[in-house]
Chains A and B, each alone.
Chain A
């Protein structure tokens, strides 16, 4: 029997600080990106992720040790995102501001591009460890190949190769999203 989160959930339920921190650090980026996808605004996304983790903690009694934690957390978070959008829609002022600030096409494009960004975060987390580190340093931290090579004490050639592997793996795992998103652009421009 494979129970990957058994002890984690057990400790979390007992209010263990380390378990709390571990869960937060492990899932933060992904939750943040889901929230960005729904809300499009990093500040609102931060608040929403906070409240999702608090909700998980408040509902810890309902967690089952023999089930994986992630689907439960994602369900809480997605409902939380949807509630937040509903609340936003109730606020007519916000809605009219949104409409006037951005025309229909760019809003739609924005949603698709947010979706792709979120998928990239997800796919990057699935890359082989070395590949992942190098890609994150290059794209998220904005480092040049030389700088990465120096920091990791490897050759520039290795950095270049790993970047190529990363990009090709990402392209393959994201091909469906890429096709949709590029179709969209060719249709309207």
Chain B
């Protein structure tokens, strides 16, 4: 048999041939290398199309579509522009943002000036800059110091900033690169009578209202921490590069540690917080400052901490349904401007959680 009806080969592949025909086809295949080659080609398509079918059966397109539409719905409500760290095509957006920041500052300056026109000279109101959850901002102060403002944070300064000193009020988290000027110290004041004093240096201060601690991390240079205690006196502490200070707002004790050297520099109340516990609950300094480079980093973070960070970072309301998720800690970094859904998908794969979206809010619970 030299030639064969293609119909028969197809039915052979479908296993819908009689025994006799099956034997004939097998003979035909073995009768020449060309026949074998041709048959192998059909067989390859046949098997690959079955596999393709198996993969396709694994997806329910309607479910996927619903998931996509939910994501779009939730994103529609949060369509603030993202601050992108790099990329030339964002240059125009960058200029617009800078222009917007300058405009806001100018506007607030004018507004403040009109509100307080009768104050004595030198106290002509203030400038305020705030960033909503889901955004970040970078601004240059009148003395050329640079401030990166993290999500949900606010800074303000009087309009005589840089005249006699440089005083900033911070609520939230900011990273500072302070322009050197020995004669005018740079002061970051937090609402809890806790001040960070710098001359020329780079450091991060985190003091969100709802946080338990005020956390100061020094990247380079030197800063002094000044605490106004209840008796009206001042306690002062110095930080060296790579050191992190955690000041407990309520108990007013302080721990200073250096993660890279594995060293507790100071613990003002070891009976309240053990050295080991303080050490474990503090992230590495690289993790602490990574937000300014748009890296979303977790370092031994519990789910409470992760949820807290995600809410600020993306500006979504996230509900943690189960409390038993806080027994484990997680470490990892997202540095490609991932969407919140990409982050949640990774968390779903690497931890015992699953998430759902209801009425544009996110719910996280333990996997059943």
Contact = CB atoms under 8 A, between A and B. Distances in A.
**Chains A and B are bound partners:** yes
5 contacts: A24-B68, A42-B59, A138-B14, A140-B53, A140-B57
B341 A121 contact: no
Interface stretch (B43-51, B112-120, B133-141, B252-260): B43-51
Interface of A: 15, 17, 20-21, 24-25, 28-29, 32-33, 36, 42-43, 46-47, 49-51, 53-55, 57-58, 83, 87, 113, 116-118, 120-121, 124, 135, 138-142, 144-145, 160-161, 163-164, 167-168, 170-171, 174-175, 178, 181-182
Could you tell me the dominant secondary structure of chain A's interface residues? helix
Contact of B53 (A53, A55, A141): A141
A160 B48 contact: no
A156 to B, nearest CB: 9
Contacts of A170: 45, 49
Nearest to B76: A15
Interface in B1-58: 6-7, 10-11, 14, 16, 37, 40-42, 44-46, 48-53, 55-58
Contacts, number: 120
Contacts of A141: 53
Interface residues of B, number: 40
Nearest to B333: A90
Contact of A54 (B37, B57, B59, B75): B75
Given A116-B44, A117-B51, A164 B16 contact: no
Interface of B: 6-7, 10-11, 14, 16, 37, 40-42, 44-46, 48-53, 55-59, 61, 64-65, 67-69, 71-72, 75-76, 336, 339, 341-342, 345, 349
Given A139-B49, A163-B10, A182 B72 contact: no
Contacts of A163: 10, 14
Given A20-B69, A25-B61, A53-B68, A139 B50 contact: yes
B48 A116 contact: yes
A120 B6 contact: no
The 5 closest A-B pairs by CB, nearest first: A140-B53, A139-B49, A117-B52, A42-B58, A47-B345
A84 B71 CA distance: 20
A150 B109 CA distance: 78
Contacts of A120: 45, 48-49, 52
